[in-house]
Chain A
Amino acid sequence: MSLEWMAWTLPTATFFVVIALLLLGMTIWELRTPSVARKGFLPIDTTRGDRFFIGLLGSAYINLAWLGLTGLSPWFSLLISVVFLVAVIRYG
């Protein structure tokens, strides 16, 4: 089956592989030590999966805001969003 119609590029393939690995990792983590809803700096009770979702969605918005509001390299926003994702999962 040719995947030419999907127009793959190395950056997008890397992006999806990383997301898939993160999901796989979260699943294994959840199976090993099931998470319990708790409250961190976010205003709502969250499980680990909730925080992961919030982290990913927030990261997408951080990158969009960076592109829309600044003219700087998107590598900075990627770095900020990784820090944000880790912070939300750990302390959110």
Chain B
Amino acid sequence: MEKTPNNKAWLLVIPVFVIVAFSAIIPLMTVVNYSVQDIFGPGERYFVGVEWFKETLSDRRLHDALWRQFLFSGLVLLIEIPLGVMIALAMPKRGWGVSVSLVLLALPLLIPWNVIGTIWIIFTRPDIGLFGVAINGLGIDFDHTASPLDAWVTVMLMEVWHWTPLVVLLAYAGLQAIPEAYFQAARIDGASAWATFRYIQLPKMRGVLTIAVLLRFMDSFLIYAEPFVLTGGGPGNSTTFLSIHLVKLAVGQFDLGPAAAFSIIYFLIVLLFSWMFYQALQRVGTGEK
């Protein structure tokens, strides 16, 4: 292997190391420190070893929140990735329609997350909300504050509306980057639309779809603001996802030790799944298993 010709590039990376150290590594180390102690206040803390981990691992509420979270993230990926690719495929390739669709699609991404929750509370209210009144007018009894199923439907609709545009933008960028020669070759061979998608567009979108899947998995697994504003985790605990449960534990009850242990487990789950998705998507279409 040849030696890197200019190692000065490393100097340019130092600011990133410093920023990451302050924004991620030091807080993470602090969380690890908290996770093995019972903390009563500044300077008043007792070492408890792995007690909080044992307690957290056998916590029924955590198990429930975890399954809910997996269901949520699974649904997010199953809906948003195919839908995003389909919309990207249907978008105009040139002309004024490109700018119009890009701006319209980007709008949900520009709205602050807590405002999204408020918009959907009003939108789905059965008395004044456009969606709520319309669907109740059709004879379907819909109220996300009373029925867990309605709460889930609302959270999913909100999430799909909010984040599918990101997948569309990524997929569209991937599609636009495919050289025209591939499509010409496909036309000469008489390839069907499906074959063109399966053997040209989809493999060429692998890079951007990897990013889309990773971003959507991590973001949906860490989701907090939107469902917190919309349902507050209810009705009951039906939309209490991991982060909502964690905030209740850490800020509501001020149980810093258990919350820290919980955070580390949460972090490890996100790390494992992100790594697995990354590995799997790196191998799609390369013939490796």
Contacts and interface: CB of A to CB of B under 8 A. Distances in A.
Interface string A55-91: 0010011001001100000100000000000000000
Given A15-B32, A67-B54, A68-B57, A7 B45 contact: yes
Given A11-B36, A34-B1, A68-B58, A5 B50 contact: no
A12 B277 CA distance: 30
Given A43-B289, A57-B268, A67 B32 contact: no
Contacts, number: 56
A34 B275 CA distance: 23
B32 A4 contact: no
Interface string A2-24: 00111111011001100000000
A45 B288 CA distance: 10
B118 interface: no
Contacts of A57: 268, 271-272, 275
Interface in B25-80: 26, 29-30, 32-34, 36-37, 39, 42-43, 45, 47, 49-50, 53-54, 57-58
A7 B39 contact: yes
A56 to B, nearest CB: 10
Contacts of B265: 64
Contacts of A67: 50, 53-54, 57
Contacts of B30: 5-7
Contacts of A11: 36, 47, 49
Interface string A24-57: 0000000000100000000111000000010001
B176 interface: no
Given A6-B29, A34-B1, A12 B36 contact: yes
Nearest to B29: A16
A7 B37 contact: yes
A53 B279 CA distance: 13
A74 B271 CA distance: 22
Interface in B101-152: none
Nearest to B57: A68
A50 to B, nearest CB: 9
Contacts of B26: 6
Contact of A6 (B33, B49, B53, B268): B33
A7 B34 CA distance: 7
B33 A8 contact: yes
A60 B30 CA distance: 17
Nearest to A66: B50
Interface of A: 4-9, 11-12, 15-16, 34, 43-45, 53, 57, 60-61, 64, 67-68, 74
Given A5-B30, A9-B36, A34-B1, 20 more contacts: A4-B43, A6-B26, A6-B33, A7-B33, A7-B34, A7-B45, A8-B33, A9-B33, A12-B32, A12-B36, A16-B32, A44-B279, A44-B288, A57-B272, A60-B268, A61-B268, A61-B272, A64-B265, A64-B268, A74-B50
Interface pairs A-B: 3 shortest CB-CB: A68-B57, A7-B33, A6-B30
24 contacts: A4-B42, A5-B42, A6-B29, A6-B30, A7-B37, A7-B39, A7-B45, A9-B33, A9-B36, A11-B47, A12-B32, A44-B279, A44-B283, A57-B268, A57-B272, A61-B272, A64-B265, A64-B268, A67-B50, A67-B53, A67-B54, A67-B57, A68-B54, A74-B50
